[in-house]
Structure formats: structure tokens, C-alpha cells
Amino acid sequence: MPSPSMTGLPALPPQPAGVAWPTQDWPLGDLPAHADRARIDALLTQAFDGDGSVLGETHALVVIQGGRLILERYGKGRGPHDTCHSWSKAKSITQALVGLLVGDGKIDIYRPADVPEWSGAGDPRGAITLDQMLRMSSGLKFSEAYLPDEPSDVIPMLFGPGQDDVAAFAAGYPLAHTPGTFWSYSSGTTNIIARTAARAANAFGPDFEAFMRERLFDPLGMTSAAPKFDAAGTFIGSSFCFCTPRDFARFGLLYLRDGMWDGARLLPEGWVDYARAKTWQQEPENTDSPYGAQWWLGMAGPGSFSANGYEGQYTIVVPDLDMVVVRNGATPLDLKDNPQTWLRDLVAAFRPHDPD
């Protein structure tokens, strides 16, 4: 499997001069003059005033451009202070936590991962690296499908026999492929990563939550962030970090700003590029869903990358527009592709268009 290339990635824009960082409050701005306001209004009406037949429920939309909050809308009975599910958007937060520990010199992602279940002599899983897990290429036999004839392994991990120790449950799966040779999206893999991060930090449960707050949430002003832990003290990094949409946008802005915040480097240099560098995926199954390292790629145009969650949770980073878009809602499984189409259309409405 080829190594991902970090060359040719679009530049990440700096915070514009004179625009305050939103550690306390978001500075406000206006829609750009070239935005297709009629198209934006139609999309907002479909999402918030429609019958739900296309998108299900849309709970919140936040759009940041140039470091300013330029568009915000909430569903009935909801507002800026209401927290929303992350679901798998938490995977991208887990990637940030690993980056902090890489910067501390406590993790080398290219060495075999610290997973006790794989430490036995001759266990082929002992060769799996954190890089392979971050890129969903561990080779573990873990099913993320939600099909009648292929039950998902996520359900027993989160809500069944694995719920008290999600990482141990996921680490118990055998190999289905040689590590690094097969891409397969896996929430179980991310929970193993989260425990590995806790082991590197020597902090579990409340101590690891304190690490998350001190090193990530507090510097960004993410005061609403509510990570969830299992009984073993592992952050359930696959699925559970509740936040307000504005706080999800703060996290997106950290990545848009290349890991910098208000003059300080939070994530190590190159870590955001690592997240958005394309992972090799076997043909033809995944060519329409490019992936980086715990981030999805290209959903809102070339160079964009996003944290995607079940039921239509999205935090999208769009470097060429200096934009972050957050959508939270409850979209049924049979409509799951529609929010992506809607979000692509929304972002396109902010792109300059040549006059007819």
C-alpha cells in the first residue's frame, strides 16, 4: 500500500488580520456579496421549514468564513446553547488528541501500537501501527455495516457486551487482512486508538478528560464539550463527544488554521496535513469516499475535509473559501446521502460564479 502524500495539498489560510479568535465569542460577519442568496434561502427553507422528506430533522447550521460567524440557524425549540450528538465526528477529535501526544513525544504512530491484547508471541496483530489504525487500514475483522444480513459490530460494542470496555472488545477481533493492505471503516479501531492515547498519557477516565480539557477544549473555548467514557475509563472516541454547533465550529477552525490558535501552536506542525492526506483504498469499493486519517476528504469540493457522523452530523473544513460549516440533525438511514448533497449545494452557493 503506497504511503499517503502530503504534497499538493491546498494551503490552509491564516486567521485574517484584525479578526478576533473565537475563544470567548464568535465575531460576526455578513454573507459575501457574491453569494447566491436565493439558493441559500431555498436550502435553508428545505432544511428547517420542509416536511423532512429529504433531510429528516435539521437541528442546527453554523457557517464560519474568514474567522467570523456569517450564518446560523436552528430548528424549532433549539438554540446556540443546546448540545448535539457528535457520533463519529468524535473520531476527528480523537485524531487531535493523538496529535497532542505525538507533539509531546509520547507516541510514534509508525511503531506497533501499544495494545495489550496483541502482545502475545507470534500474534500478527502486534505489528499493527497507529498510523494504520488512524487510516482505517488495521486489517481487523470488524464490521461497520448496518444491513439485515450483516449485523454491525458497533451495536454490541457501544450498547451490548462490549460497552464497559469498548477498546478491549474491539481489540479482541482477529485479522481479516494483512495490516496496511485493506481499507475498512471501523469505529472499533478508533476506540483502540483512544485507549492507546490514554495509555500514552497515563490518564484514564476523569484524568484523561482533564487532559482533553486542558490541552484541547479550554484553549479553543469549547466549554460545552462533553466527552463520554466507558467503565474502564476509555474515552469512547468513536462516537461520543457532545458539543454545541458553535463549539464544533471552533474545532473545525483549529484544523482550518493548521493547528494554530491565537498565536499558539496546539497541534504539532504537519498534523493537520497528515489528517487530510489521502489514504490508499482498494478499488472499486471506496473510490467515491476518499479518506485521510480520521477525517473524510472532498465532500464539499477539492481540498475540503470533514468530520462526519451518523444521522447527518458534519463539520466541514473548506480551505479555498476559508470556511467551516457545521450541520447537526437526525437524518434517517434511508436518507443518509441527502445531507451531503445539501451541504455540497450550500457550499457551492458561496463560491464566486462567472456572470452569464
Domain assignment present for 138:
yes
User: Over the chain, what is the mean pLDDT?
Assistant: 95
How many Cβ atoms sit within 10 Å of the Cβ of residue 136? 25
Name the residue with higher pLDDT: 70 or 147: 70
- Domain enclosing residue 112, as ranges: 72-330
The pLDDT score that the predictor gives to residue 1 is: 53
Tell me the pLDDT band of 352, cut-offs 50, 70 and 90: confident
For residue 8, with 0-12 CB atoms within 10 Å meaning exposed, 13-18 middle and 19 or more buried, which class applies?
Answer: exposed
User: What is the spatial distance between Cα 343 and Cα 120, in angstroms, rounded to a whole number?
Assistant: 47
Tell me the pLDDT band of 3, cut-offs 50, 70 and 90: low
The pLDDT score that the predictor gives to residue 214 is: 98
**Does the pLDDT of residue 218 top 80, yes or no?**
yes
The pLDDT score that the predictor gives to residue 287 is: 58
Question: 94 φ, ψ to 5°?
Answer: -60, -40
Domain assignment present for 224:
yes
**How many domains are contained in the chain?**
1
Domain assignment present for 25:
no
User: What is the spatial distance between Cα 347 and Cα 295, in angstroms, rounded to a whole number?
Assistant: 18
Q: How distant, in Å, are the alpha carbons of 83, 252, 271 from that of 307?
A: 17, 9, 15
Domain assignment present for 8:
no
Domain assignment present for 64:
no
Q: What is the mean pLDDT of residues 215-231?
A: 98
The pLDDT score that the predictor gives to residue 226 is: 98
The pLDDT score that the predictor gives to residue 332 is: 95
Contact 303, 297 (CB under 8 A): no
Share of the chain above pLDDT 90, in %: 92
Domain assignment present for 188:
yes
Stretch (H or E) spanning 264 = strand 264-265
Comparing C-alpha atoms, which of 244, 250, 246 is closest to residue 224?
A: 244
| Tens digits of residue pLDDT in 107-156 | 999 999 999 999 999 999 999 999 999 999 999 999 998 777 778 999 99
User: What is the spatial distance between Cα 260 and Cα 269, in angstroms, rounded to a whole number?
Assistant: 9
Stretch (H or E) spanning 265 = strand 264-265
Tell me the pLDDT band of 49, cut-offs 50, 70 and 90: very high
**Does the pLDDT of residue 247 top 70, yes or no?**
yes
Share of the chain above pLDDT 70, in %: 96
Residue ranges of the alpha helices (H) in 165-298?
166-171, 187-201, 206-212, 218-220, 245-256, 271-276
pTM: 0.96
Domain assignment present for 189:
yes
Can you give the CATH number for the domain in which 186 is found?
3.40.710.10
**Does the pLDDT of residue 286 top 60, yes or no?**
no
Contact 336, 253 (CB under 8 A): no
Domain assignment present for 350:
no
| Tens digits of residue pLDDT in 254-283 | 999 999 999 999 999 999 999 999 999 998
